[in-house]
Structure formats: structure tokens, C-alpha cells
Amino acid sequence: MKWQGRRKSSNVNDRRASGGAGRKASVGGAGAIIILLISFIFGGPEAVLKNLGYITQSGGDSNYVETAEDKEMAEFVSVVLADTEYVWGELFQDLNKEYKEPQLVLYHEYVSSACGSTSSAVGPFYCPGDQTVYIDLDFFQELATKYKASGDFAIAYVVSHEVGHHVQTLLGITDQMQEIRSKVSEEEYNKYSVRFELQADYLSGVWAHWIEDMGYLEAGDINEAIKAAEAVGDDAIQKAARGYVVPDSFTHGTSEQRSYWFNLGFETGDLSKWDTFNSDI
């Protein structure tokens, strides 16, 4: 992706070395993957970590020292966020709506949000309570090495997917999900959760469509995003963690579904085709 020398977002809050009280959660390997999977079933990452004894408080790691690689990655994330601000600002104008830009917090190891206190084990997440995206940059290293999804546009896909959840919040879809959650069984809600996540993948693809139209994509970028989408499919994560998959527990969609909906958004760039809730997925 062509990004160097371009505008950075003013909505990035860097808390990586802010310090703070609390006991840091140290969860790695299969444990991190399992927490990632079950956090969306049992009330979010805070509830899971508390139940497991990993209690965290306010964010930041006073021992954190930024590397040159981290610095460049943080700058890249800021440029990607700026691009999402521009694209969604334009698309919301077409809908006769105002786009309220989200905040993005960079943290290291643990962080507090309106959705609770959590470890980086849960991966990047969006909190509708404070309309903020939270990212520990170490996640992208794991994505590249463990899941073989490398490249700058793999990172851009993750950021734009989380911003997709912000778009869903602004359009009232997140509130609809909360209403559904109180009315259906856990198994039935998981099906809605899959559709909700695939919709965010579609929105990520729509964003990529307009970034290509602006001339910012390079050869191989979309393949990087698709590999990342496949890497974080429920079936791929469960297979890596357990050696088998449990489809009834899926909350984000399979690798095939995630890459399909991202690619559909990229090919069309059309918000009118994004209704995963009424589509055959």
C-alpha cells in the first residue's frame, strides 16, 4: 500500500508506555486463542479474563520501549485510519448522514475501555461504548509469523474491519444486535454474530475498493487482506487451538466466508449489497 508521506489521523491515542496500576494478564499460545473465541460468548473479554483470574486495570506498560519497527507500524496504522475517515466521511455524505470519526488506542499488553479491562490476548477489538478501536501492535507480528498472513495490507484489513464495526454502530446495527441477544438462545445468537462480523468484513472490502480507486493499492495488497481474513476464520482458529472445529460455536465466520465477504465488498464498493443478515452466507 502506498502510504508513506500521506496524512495521518489525529484520532490516535498512544497508551503503550503510559504506565498504570494493575496486574497484567499473561496469556499466550492456545490459551490466547481460546480466550479470543469464548470472549464473544461470555459477555466480552473482561468477563472471561476475570473468570480466569487475569484481572487487569488501567492501561499501558511503563516498561514498553518502542522499536523502529513498532514506530513505522504505528505510523502506518495512523495513515490507514485517516483513509477510513475520508472514505466513510464521503460515503456517509451520500447517505445524507454525518460520519463521527472513531478514536484508535494503541496499547501494549493490557488496556481499559468502556467495555472493560482486557489483555491483548483477545486481539484487536472495537468498543461501541466509547466508539474506539483498540490495538496491540504485537498482534500483527503473531498474524504474520503464526498464521502466515503478512504484509501491510493484512494490517490494513484488520484496522478497517474494526472501523467497520464503528460504521455498524453509527448505523444502529450494533444496537439491533444487543436487542437480538436478549431474545434468542446462545446458539442462535452465534449465527447472528457471524453475520455481524461478515458484514464488517464486507465494509472493510468496500473501504479497500475506494482506496484502490484513489490509487493507493499496490500489487498483492488484496491477496494480503484475503489471507488475513482466512487466517482469522473461526474454523482456522479452532483447528489450530483444538485440532477440530465446532461450527455451532462459530461467532465470526469461516475462512471461506470471511474472505468471500471482504472480496465482495472490494469488487462492488456498494453499500446496498452489504445485508449479510438476509443473505445466504
Q: Quick one: cell of 202?
A: 464486507
Distance CA 150, CA 127 (A): 25
Distance CA 3, CA 217 (A): 9
| H-run or E-run covering 119 | strand 116-119
Q: If pLDDT is split at 50, 70 and 90, which confidence band does 276 have? A: low
Mean of all residue pLDDT scores within the chain = 86
Structural domain boundaries of the chain?
12-278
- Among 8-12, 80-84, 245-249, the least confident range: 245-249
Residue 119 phi, psi dihedral angles, 5° rounding? -90, 160
Q: What is the pLDDT of residues 98-133, one digit of tens each?
A: 999 999 999 999 999 999 999 999 999 999 999 999
Mean local confidence (pLDDT), 75-81: 98
Asked whether 54 and 7 are in contact (CB, 8 A), the reply is no
Adjacent-strand bridge partners of 135 = 106
116: nearest Cα among 23, 217, 46: 46
Q: Quick one: cell of 61?
A: 506498560
Q: What is the pLDDT of residues 188-221, one digit of tens each?
A: 999 999 999 999 999 999 999 999 999 999 999 9
